[in-house]
Each structure stands twice: as C-alpha cells, then as structure tokens.
Amino acid sequence: MSKYAEKRFWIDTGDRMVATFAQAGVAILGAGVTGILEVDWEQMLSVSLLAAAVSLLTSIAFRGSEKVE
C-alpha cells in the first residue's frame, strides 16, 4: 500500500503543517514588532500559509519510502 493511502501519514503531515504555521507566525511576531497593533496580520498569515504549504510538499516528497509487503 502506498504511504499516501495511509491515514497516519496524513495525520502526521497535518500535525507538521500546523506546527510549521504556528512557528512561522511566532517568528513574524517576534521580528521587530513592539506592539500588537503594529503586527501586519496579512503578511503574517501569508508567510505562515506559505511555510505550511512547503511543509506539506516536503512531507509528500520526502517522508519515507513505499511499503514493501
């Protein structure tokens, strides 16, 4: 069975995407912002979504090999 057909693969991939999204958001918040009103929320969302998309593509491309049974 292909790794892409396994529920566990997609759960793990989703977990990594959420963690990456949050980490990118924290990085943007900590990058020279001195107050909550100064945050460029659109930019933060854009960067975080891009990071999550890269995480998804990385998981699809590089997570393990096909199972041999």
Q: Assess if residue 35 is contained within a domain.
A: yes
User: In this predicted structure, what is the pLDDT of residue 5?
Assistant: 87
Q: Assess if residue 67 is contained within a domain.
A: no
Q: Assess if residue 21 is contained within a domain.
A: yes
Report pLDDT digits (tens) over 36-65: 888 888 999 999 999 999 999 999 998 665
Distance CA 12, CA 1 (A): 17
Residue 31: name the closest of 43, 20, 19, 16 by CA. Answer: 43
The answer, yes or no, to whether residue 68 has pLDDT greater than 50, is no
Report pLDDT digits (tens) over 3-20: 888 999 999 999 999 999
User: In this predicted structure, what is the pLDDT of residue 66?
Assistant: 55
The total domain count for the chain is 1
Higher pLDDT, 20 or 31: 20
Range of the domain at 43: 6-62
pTM: 0.80
